[in-house]
Protein backbone atom coordinates (compact mmCIF):
# COMPACT_ATOMS: atom_id res chain seq x y z
CA UNK A 1 0.00 0.00 0.00
CA UNK A 2 1.26 3.52 -0.80
CA UNK A 3 2.46 5.37 2.25
CA UNK A 4 0.40 8.52 2.75
CA UNK A 5 1.91 11.84 3.81
CA UNK A 6 -1.57 13.26 4.46
CA UNK A 7 -4.87 11.50 5.02
CA UNK A 8 -8.09 13.31 5.88
CA UNK A 9 -11.72 12.21 6.15
CA UNK A 10 -14.51 14.77 6.33
CA UNK A 11 -12.20 17.61 7.36
CA UNK A 12 -14.38 20.65 8.06
CA UNK A 13 -13.82 24.15 9.36
CA UNK A 14 -16.43 26.84 9.82
CA UNK A 15 -16.04 30.51 10.71
CA UNK A 16 -19.46 31.46 12.07
CA UNK A 17 -21.91 30.60 9.30
CA UNK A 18 -19.21 30.33 6.65
CA UNK A 19 -17.98 26.83 5.81
CA UNK A 20 -14.37 27.52 4.78
CA UNK A 21 -13.44 23.82 4.35
CA UNK A 22 -16.27 21.41 3.72
CA UNK A 23 -15.93 17.65 4.42
CA UNK A 24 -12.60 17.34 2.67
CA UNK A 25 -11.21 13.86 1.95
CA UNK A 26 -7.54 13.70 0.93
CA UNK A 27 -5.12 10.82 0.42
CA UNK A 28 -1.78 12.33 -0.57
CA UNK A 29 1.04 9.84 -1.24
CA UNK A 30 4.40 10.49 0.45
CA UNK A 31 7.23 11.66 -1.78
CA UNK A 32 5.04 13.63 -4.17
CA UNK A 33 4.22 17.27 -4.90
CA UNK A 34 0.50 17.76 -4.39
CA UNK A 35 -1.32 20.97 -5.30
CA UNK A 36 -4.40 22.78 -4.04
CA UNK A 37 -5.76 24.77 -6.97
CA UNK A 38 -8.48 27.26 -6.21
CA UNK A 39 -9.47 30.93 -6.39
CA UNK A 40 -9.16 33.35 -3.47
CA UNK A 41 -11.28 32.26 -0.55
CA UNK A 42 -11.63 28.63 -1.66
CA UNK A 43 -10.21 27.32 1.63
CA UNK A 44 -6.62 26.49 0.69
CA UNK A 45 -4.94 28.36 3.56
CA UNK A 46 -7.52 27.22 6.10
CA UNK A 47 -6.90 23.61 5.14
CA UNK A 48 -3.11 23.98 5.31
CA UNK A 49 -3.35 25.63 8.72
CA UNK A 50 -5.42 22.70 10.01
CA UNK A 51 -2.94 20.18 8.59
CA UNK A 52 -0.05 21.91 10.36
CA UNK A 53 -1.96 21.81 13.65
CA UNK A 54 -2.21 25.62 13.85
CA UNK A 55 -5.99 25.70 13.49
CA UNK A 56 -8.50 23.28 14.99
CA UNK A 57 -11.04 21.60 12.71
CA UNK A 58 -14.75 21.63 13.54
CA UNK A 59 -15.16 18.04 12.33
CA UNK A 60 -13.28 15.24 10.59
CA UNK A 61 -10.12 13.19 11.10
CA UNK A 62 -6.63 13.73 9.82
CA UNK A 63 -3.27 12.05 9.99
CA UNK A 64 -0.16 13.85 8.79
CA UNK A 65 3.05 11.80 8.47
CA UNK A 66 1.18 9.09 10.35
CA UNK A 67 0.47 11.38 13.33
CA UNK A 68 -3.07 12.13 14.49
CA UNK A 69 -3.65 15.87 14.26
CA UNK A 70 -4.36 17.99 16.28
CA UNK A 71 -3.51 15.55 19.12
CA UNK A 72 0.09 14.97 18.03
CA UNK A 73 0.69 18.42 16.54
CA UNK A 74 3.66 19.08 18.84
CA UNK A 75 5.53 16.03 17.48
CA UNK A 76 4.58 16.97 13.93
CA UNK A 77 5.94 20.50 14.23
CA UNK A 78 9.59 19.40 14.02
CA UNK A 79 8.92 17.27 10.95
CA UNK A 80 7.22 19.89 8.78
CA UNK A 81 8.24 23.15 7.13
CA UNK A 82 5.77 25.92 6.39
CA UNK A 83 6.16 28.83 4.00
CA UNK A 84 3.36 31.36 3.64
CA UNK A 85 2.64 33.82 0.85
CA UNK A 86 3.68 36.68 3.13
CA UNK A 87 7.43 37.10 3.82
CA UNK A 88 7.65 36.17 7.48
CA UNK A 89 11.35 36.59 8.26
CA UNK A 90 13.08 39.57 9.86
CA UNK A 91 13.73 42.47 7.48
CA UNK A 92 16.29 44.02 9.80
CA UNK A 93 18.39 40.89 10.25
CA UNK A 94 20.85 39.81 7.57
CA UNK A 95 20.23 36.70 5.49
CA UNK A 96 22.76 34.80 7.59
CA UNK A 97 21.33 36.09 10.90
CA UNK A 98 17.82 35.04 9.89
CA UNK A 99 19.01 31.51 9.17
CA UNK A 100 21.16 31.38 12.35
CA UNK A 101 18.14 32.43 14.36
CA UNK A 102 16.04 29.63 12.90
CA UNK A 103 18.87 27.13 13.45
CA UNK A 104 18.86 28.14 17.12
CA UNK A 105 15.12 27.63 17.37
CA UNK A 106 15.59 24.10 16.06
CA UNK A 107 18.41 23.55 18.56
CA UNK A 108 21.25 22.93 16.09
CA UNK A 109 24.68 23.09 17.71
CA UNK A 110 27.25 25.62 16.46
CA UNK A 111 28.98 23.24 14.06
CA UNK A 112 25.79 21.76 12.58
CA UNK A 113 24.38 25.24 12.21
CA UNK A 114 27.51 26.47 10.36
CA UNK A 115 27.52 23.44 8.06
CA UNK A 116 23.82 23.65 7.30
CA UNK A 117 23.97 27.38 6.63
CA UNK A 118 26.84 26.95 4.21
CA UNK A 119 24.88 24.27 2.39
CA UNK A 120 21.66 26.33 2.24
CA UNK A 121 23.40 29.55 1.15
CA UNK A 122 24.88 27.54 -1.73
CA UNK A 123 21.72 25.61 -2.68
CA UNK A 124 19.54 28.72 -2.69
CA UNK A 125 22.15 31.00 -4.29
CA UNK A 126 22.25 33.34 -1.32
CA UNK A 127 25.97 33.25 -0.47
CA UNK A 128 26.74 36.61 -2.08
CA UNK A 129 23.89 38.27 -0.14
CA UNK A 130 24.58 36.60 3.21
CA UNK A 131 25.44 39.89 4.93
CA UNK A 132 22.54 41.90 3.43
CA UNK A 133 19.46 42.85 5.44
CA UNK A 134 16.63 40.56 4.36
CA UNK A 135 14.43 43.64 3.85
CA UNK A 136 16.65 44.81 0.99
CA UNK A 137 16.40 41.59 -1.07
CA UNK A 138 14.41 41.30 -4.31
CA UNK A 139 11.19 39.27 -4.39
CA UNK A 140 12.94 36.22 -5.84
CA UNK A 141 15.80 36.39 -3.33
CA UNK A 142 13.37 36.73 -0.42
CA UNK A 143 11.49 33.72 -1.66
CA UNK A 144 14.68 31.64 -1.84
CA UNK A 145 15.56 32.75 1.69
CA UNK A 146 12.08 31.78 2.90
CA UNK A 147 12.46 28.34 1.31
CA UNK A 148 15.91 27.92 2.87
CA UNK A 149 14.40 28.83 6.25
CA UNK A 150 11.44 26.45 5.82
CA UNK A 151 13.76 23.54 4.95
CA UNK A 152 16.61 24.28 7.38
CA UNK A 153 15.63 21.45 9.73
CA UNK A 154 15.19 19.04 6.79
CA UNK A 155 11.47 18.44 7.20
CA UNK A 156 9.76 15.34 5.81
CA UNK A 157 6.81 17.42 4.65
CA UNK A 158 6.76 20.97 3.34
CA UNK A 159 3.65 23.17 3.24
CA UNK A 160 3.83 26.04 0.77
CA UNK A 161 0.92 28.46 0.79
CA UNK A 162 0.91 30.39 -2.51
CA UNK A 163 4.68 30.67 -2.36
CA UNK A 164 5.14 32.31 -5.75
CA UNK A 165 2.47 35.04 -5.65
CA UNK A 166 5.09 37.80 -5.42
CA UNK A 167 7.65 36.68 -8.00
CA UNK A 168 8.09 36.86 -11.76
CA UNK A 169 7.75 33.83 -14.10
CA UNK A 170 11.49 33.18 -14.30
CA UNK A 171 11.86 33.07 -10.52
CA UNK A 172 8.78 30.88 -10.37
CA UNK A 173 10.38 28.41 -12.76
CA UNK A 174 13.62 28.34 -10.74
CA UNK A 175 11.64 27.91 -7.54
CA UNK A 176 9.89 24.85 -8.98
CA UNK A 177 13.23 23.35 -9.93
CA UNK A 178 14.19 23.59 -6.24
CA UNK A 179 10.93 21.91 -5.27
CA UNK A 180 11.63 18.98 -7.58
CA UNK A 181 15.13 18.68 -6.07
CA UNK A 182 13.58 18.55 -2.60
CA UNK A 183 10.98 16.03 -3.72
CA UNK A 184 13.62 13.79 -5.26
CA UNK A 185 15.52 13.90 -1.97
CA UNK A 186 12.38 12.47 -0.28
CA UNK A 187 10.43 15.52 0.90
CA UNK A 188 6.65 15.43 0.43
CA UNK A 189 5.27 18.80 -0.63
CA UNK A 190 1.80 20.34 -0.43
CA UNK A 191 1.56 23.60 -2.37
CA UNK A 192 -1.41 25.89 -2.85
CA UNK A 193 -1.71 28.03 -5.94
CA UNK A 194 -4.09 29.82 -8.22
CA UNK A 195 -1.71 29.53 -11.18
CA UNK A 196 -2.66 26.86 -13.71
CA UNK A 197 0.93 26.37 -14.90
CA UNK A 198 2.03 25.60 -11.34
CA UNK A 199 -0.83 23.18 -10.80
CA UNK A 200 0.14 21.39 -14.00
CA UNK A 201 3.59 20.67 -12.57
CA UNK A 202 2.17 18.80 -9.55
CA UNK A 203 2.07 15.00 -9.41
CA UNK A 204 -1.49 15.25 -8.12
CA UNK A 205 -3.89 18.02 -7.22
CA UNK A 206 -7.27 18.88 -5.79
CA UNK A 207 -9.43 21.61 -7.27
CA UNK A 208 -11.14 23.55 -4.49
CA UNK A 209 -14.09 25.92 -4.69
CA UNK A 210 -15.95 27.36 -1.70
CA UNK A 211 -14.19 24.87 0.56
CA UNK A 212 -15.38 21.89 -1.50
CA UNK A 213 -13.15 19.53 -3.45
CA UNK A 214 -14.57 19.59 -6.98
CA UNK A 215 -12.08 17.14 -8.51
CA UNK A 216 -8.76 15.47 -7.83
CA UNK A 217 -6.16 13.33 -9.57
CA UNK A 218 -3.04 13.80 -11.66
CA UNK A 219 -3.21 16.65 -14.21
CA UNK A 220 -3.44 14.02 -17.01
CA UNK A 221 -6.27 12.13 -15.28
CA UNK A 222 -8.16 15.36 -14.74
CA UNK A 223 -7.69 16.49 -18.34
CA UNK A 224 -8.64 13.10 -19.80
CA UNK A 225 -11.63 12.54 -17.56
CA UNK A 226 -13.40 15.86 -17.57
CA UNK A 227 -16.31 14.86 -19.82
CA UNK A 228 -15.97 17.93 -21.96
CA UNK A 229 -14.72 18.48 -25.51
CA UNK A 230 -12.67 21.59 -26.22
CA UNK A 231 -13.13 23.44 -29.51
CA UNK A 232 -11.42 26.53 -30.82
CA UNK A 233 -13.46 28.71 -33.13
CA UNK A 234 -12.06 31.44 -35.40
CA UNK A 235 -14.75 33.54 -37.04
CA UNK A 236 -15.73 37.19 -37.49
CA UNK A 237 -17.61 39.04 -34.71
CA UNK A 238 -16.28 37.06 -31.74
CA UNK A 239 -17.94 39.11 -28.98
CA UNK A 240 -21.41 38.60 -30.49
CA UNK A 241 -20.63 34.97 -31.29
CA UNK A 242 -19.59 34.34 -27.69
CA UNK A 243 -23.01 35.47 -26.43
CA UNK A 244 -24.78 33.24 -28.94
CA UNK A 245 -22.64 30.24 -28.05
CA UNK A 246 -23.27 30.68 -24.35
CA UNK A 247 -27.02 30.47 -24.98
CA UNK A 248 -26.69 26.93 -26.45
CA UNK A 249 -27.62 24.13 -24.10
CA UNK A 250 -24.54 21.90 -24.49
CA UNK A 251 -22.04 24.74 -24.22
CA UNK A 252 -20.39 24.85 -20.77
CA UNK A 253 -18.13 27.87 -21.20
CA UNK A 254 -16.67 30.23 -23.78
CA UNK A 255 -13.54 32.34 -23.40
CA UNK A 256 -11.83 34.57 -25.93
CA UNK A 257 -8.13 33.97 -26.60
CA UNK A 258 -6.91 36.60 -29.03
CA UNK A 259 -8.63 35.91 -32.38
CA UNK A 260 -10.28 32.66 -31.27
CA UNK A 261 -12.94 31.45 -28.87
CA UNK A 262 -12.20 28.49 -26.65
CA UNK A 263 -15.48 26.63 -26.30
CA UNK A 264 -16.16 23.80 -23.85
CA UNK A 265 -19.03 21.54 -24.96
CA UNK A 266 -20.52 18.39 -23.44
CA UNK A 267 -18.27 15.41 -24.09
CA UNK A 268 -21.28 13.23 -24.93
CA UNK A 269 -21.81 15.00 -28.28
CA UNK A 270 -20.65 12.52 -30.95
CA UNK A 271 -19.77 15.15 -33.56
CA UNK A 272 -19.31 18.44 -31.69
CA UNK A 273 -17.95 20.35 -34.71
CA UNK A 274 -20.88 19.28 -36.92
CA UNK A 275 -23.31 20.02 -34.11
CA UNK A 276 -21.95 23.53 -33.68
CA UNK A 277 -22.05 24.30 -37.41
CA UNK A 278 -25.62 23.08 -37.54
CA UNK A 279 -26.79 25.07 -34.50
CA UNK A 280 -25.26 28.37 -35.57
CA UNK A 281 -25.71 29.01 -39.29
CA UNK A 282 -23.00 31.70 -39.31
CA UNK A 283 -20.50 28.93 -38.50
CA UNK A 284 -21.65 26.70 -41.37
CA UNK A 285 -19.19 28.27 -43.81
CA UNK A 286 -16.11 30.43 -43.39
CA UNK A 287 -15.54 29.68 -39.70
CA UNK A 288 -12.61 27.57 -38.62
CA UNK A 289 -13.46 25.09 -35.87
CA UNK A 290 -10.85 22.74 -34.42
CA UNK A 291 -10.96 20.20 -31.68
CA UNK A 292 -7.99 20.80 -29.32
CA UNK A 293 -6.34 19.11 -26.35
CA UNK A 294 -7.83 20.15 -23.00
CA UNK A 295 -5.62 21.97 -20.52
CA UNK A 296 -5.93 22.34 -16.76
CA UNK A 297 -7.74 25.66 -17.07
CA UNK A 298 -10.48 23.84 -19.04
CA UNK A 299 -10.72 21.29 -16.22
CA UNK A 300 -10.93 24.08 -13.69
CA UNK A 301 -13.69 25.88 -15.61
CA UNK A 302 -15.68 22.72 -16.26
CA UNK A 303 -15.60 21.44 -12.70
CA UNK A 304 -16.22 24.74 -10.96
CA UNK A 305 -19.35 25.23 -13.07
CA UNK A 306 -20.68 28.42 -14.62
CA UNK A 307 -20.44 29.54 -18.20
CA UNK A 308 -17.99 32.34 -17.52
CA UNK A 309 -14.32 32.04 -16.71
CA UNK A 310 -13.59 32.97 -13.11
Ligand X SMILES: Nc1ncnc2c1ncn2[C@@H]1O[C@H](COP(=O)(O)OP(=O)(O)OP(=O)(O)O)[C@@H](O)[C@H]1O
Least CB distance to ligand X at residue 9 (A) = 19
177, 147 Cβ separation under 8 angstroms:
no
User: Which range, of 2-10, 43-51, 89-97, 253-261, touches ligand X by CB under 6 A?
Assistant: 43-51
Q: Does residue 20 touch ligand X according to CB under 6 A?
A: yes
Find the binder of ligand X among 44, 172, 252, 260 (CB under 6 A): 44
Q: On the CB side of 266, how many CA atoms lie within 13 Å of its CA?
A: 8
Give kind and range of the element (H or E) at residue 164.
Answer: none
Q: Does residue 145 touch ligand X according to CB under 6 A?
A: no
Q: Does residue 43 touch ligand X according to CB under 6 A?
A: yes
Find the binder of ligand X among 11, 26, 37, 38 (CB under 6 A): 38
List, as one string, the DSSP characters of 93-158: SBHHHHHHHHHHHTT--HHHHHHHHHHHHHHTT-GGGTTSBGGGS-HHHHHHHHHHHHHTT--SEE
| Helices 139-151 and 169-184, packing angle to 10 deg | 20
Q: Give residues 257-296 in contact with ligand X (rule: CB under 6 A).
A: none
Cβ closest to ligand X, residue 188 vs residue 193: 193
Find the binder of ligand X among 8, 46, 151, 229 (CB under 6 A): 46
**Nearest CA-CA partner of 133 in 96, 163, 104, 102:** 96
Tell me, letter by letter, the H, E, C secondary structure of 48-63: HHHHCCCCCCCEEEEE
* Interface pattern 113-142 for ligand X (x via CB under 6 A): ------------------------------
CA distance 203 to 224: 15
User: Which range, of 35-43, 73-81, 138-146, 215-223, touches ligand X by CB under 6 A?
Assistant: 35-43
Q: Give residues 58-97 in contact with ligand X (rule: CB under 6 A).
A: none
Q: Does residue 191 touch ligand X according to CB under 6 A?
A: no
User: Which range, of 24-32, 38-46, 169-177, 183-191, touches ligand X by CB under 6 A?
Assistant: 38-46
Ramachandran quadrant class, 84 (left: phi over 0; alpha: psi -120 to 50; beta: rest): beta
CB atoms within 10 A of CB 248: 15
Find the binder of ligand X among 42, 52, 229, 253 (CB under 6 A): 42
Backbone angles phi and psi of 179, in degrees to 5: -65, -40
User: Which range, of 13-21, 216-224, 230-238, 241-249, touches ligand X by CB under 6 A?
Assistant: 13-21
Q: What is the CA radius of gyration of the chain?
A: 23
Q: Does residue 40 touch ligand X according to CB under 6 A?
A: yes
Site for ligand X, rule CB under 6 A: 15, 18, 20, 38, 40-46, 162
Amino acid sequence: MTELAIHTRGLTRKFGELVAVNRLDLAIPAGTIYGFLGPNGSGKSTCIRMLTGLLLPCAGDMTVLGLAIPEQAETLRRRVGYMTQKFSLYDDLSVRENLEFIAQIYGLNAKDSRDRLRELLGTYELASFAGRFAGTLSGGQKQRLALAAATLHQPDLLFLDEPTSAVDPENRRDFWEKLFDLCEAGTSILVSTHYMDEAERCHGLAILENGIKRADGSPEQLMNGMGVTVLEVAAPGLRELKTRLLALEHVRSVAQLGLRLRVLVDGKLADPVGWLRQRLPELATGAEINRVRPNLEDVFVSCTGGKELP
